[in-house]
Amino acid sequence: MTVTERFLKYVSFDTSSDEESETTPSTAKQKILGEYLAKELCEMGVENAHMDSDGYVYGFIPASKGLENEPRIGFIAHMDTSPAVSGENVRPKIVKYEGGDIPLSETVSIKLSDYPILADYLGEELIVTDGNTLLGADDKAGIAEIFSAVEYIINNPDVKHGPIAIAITPDEEIGRGADKFDIEKFSAAWGYTIDGGELGEIEYENFNGASVRLTVNGINIHPGSAKNKMKNAALLLSEFISMLPESETPAHTEGYEGFYHVCDISGNESKAVVNIIIRDHDREKFENRKKFIENLVSYLNGVYGEGTFVLDMADSYYNMKEKILPHMHIIDSAKEAMEKNGVTPKVVAIRGGTDGARLSFMGLPCPNLSTGGINFHSIHEFIPVKSMEKMTEVIIILMCKD
């Protein structure tokens, strides 16, 4: 099976995760794909291929004779897709890009003016959506590439390699992909998540991240007799949001600039809730951002009464850079593998997070590599076929010994 065939099969599974769920995985449908993937690994001949009770898929490839003492290398991807855009009934199609816009439906197109990166793929085959759902290259392309590399290794016993571990995680998109990852079972010296974007990306810096849930408790009363009595929670929440720095939002930041991001709002006069994420690459600035939110809540409670604003804030992950720097040979190996395959490596900082960030703090140094996908979490998502093929070859090089 080619990497493209694998990918097209995997995106037929709806695996959206659910941030409101308290189960692992957060959606039972992830286990349907997990069972399929475990079975596929078994049929390839991967040892101890299985899905555990939490929906994590593991598999192991023993070393070639004489290389048993080489360090075990891990390769990791995630099976869930972002709940921000529907992943149900994904209908991918392959188009040859010949310039201009790419029509996805009668009303939706990938416009060259909006996505000038399209020009880099002139003449290539691109896998796109039908304009109604995301595609799922984040991260089913990563799974397809890892599995295609595994198939090559197993079908070519003359290719020499050390011990290899494979893992597919659930719930990465909602920040829980490493929650129940079995580090001891995986037992790798280092690993790579295959979960990045454009071909050639190597990422070992990511945001420090925190989540904020702010509840505003109001006092509702008939508006005809509300003077000096009503505390409209919706308006008080609006006041809080208006006090966030306008220039420090995702739409106004790039590179190493951090932000506050209002994700969703709900409520009425009696109660209103907002979910916010805080991001910054610099740990000190990250801590200052959290302190700013705490101070803002304290100030508003001083104005409107203690308990009016109730803050629930928790850290999500930290910048893995400090855990990767002592192991830069991992990055050097990734660069060399790409260069051997004619891919120009591009070291970039992630404006987000991956399973690898948390795994690095759990003792598994784990930078992130590209899948080749572009416009993740969007109906305009696409991935070049050639990029998936190239990335599969890069993974094979990383698995093999010269």
Which residues belong to the active site? 80, 172
Q: Measured between alpha carbons, how far is 153 from 147 in angstroms, rounded to an integer?
A: 10
CA distances from 313 to 23, 94, 272, 289 (A): 20, 43, 16, 12
On whether the CB atoms of residues 392 and 148 are closer than 8 A, the answer is yes
Q: What is the DSSP letter of 71?
A: P
DSSP secondary structure letters along 369-383 = EE---BSTTSTT-EE
**SS3 call for 7:** helix
Q: Measured between alpha carbons, how far is 247 from 278 in angstroms, rounded to an integer?
A: 14
CA distances from 352 to 235, 279, 358, 391 (A): 31, 8, 12, 21
The H or E element containing residue 398 is: helix 385-399
Q: Which residues of 2-22 are buried (b: 16+ CB within 10 A; e: fewer)?
A: ebbebbbebbebbbbbbbeee
Q: Which residues, including other chains, have CB under 8 Å from residue 350's CB and lie 6 or more apart?
A: 196, 203, 205, 206, 207, 368
* Distance in angstroms between the alpha carbons of the first and the last residue of the chain: 26
On whether the CB atoms of residues 353 and 318 are closer than 8 A, the answer is no
As beta bridge partners, residue 309 has 216
Q: Measured between alpha carbons, how far is 96 from 248 in angstroms, rounded to an integer?
A: 39
On whether the CB atoms of residues 362 and 112 are closer than 8 A, the answer is no
Q: Which residues, including other chains, have CB under 8 Å from residue 52's CB and lie 6 or more apart?
A: 58, 182
Q: Measured between alpha carbons, how far is 21 from 155 in angstroms, rounded to an integer?
A: 40
The H or E element containing residue 287 is: helix 283-304
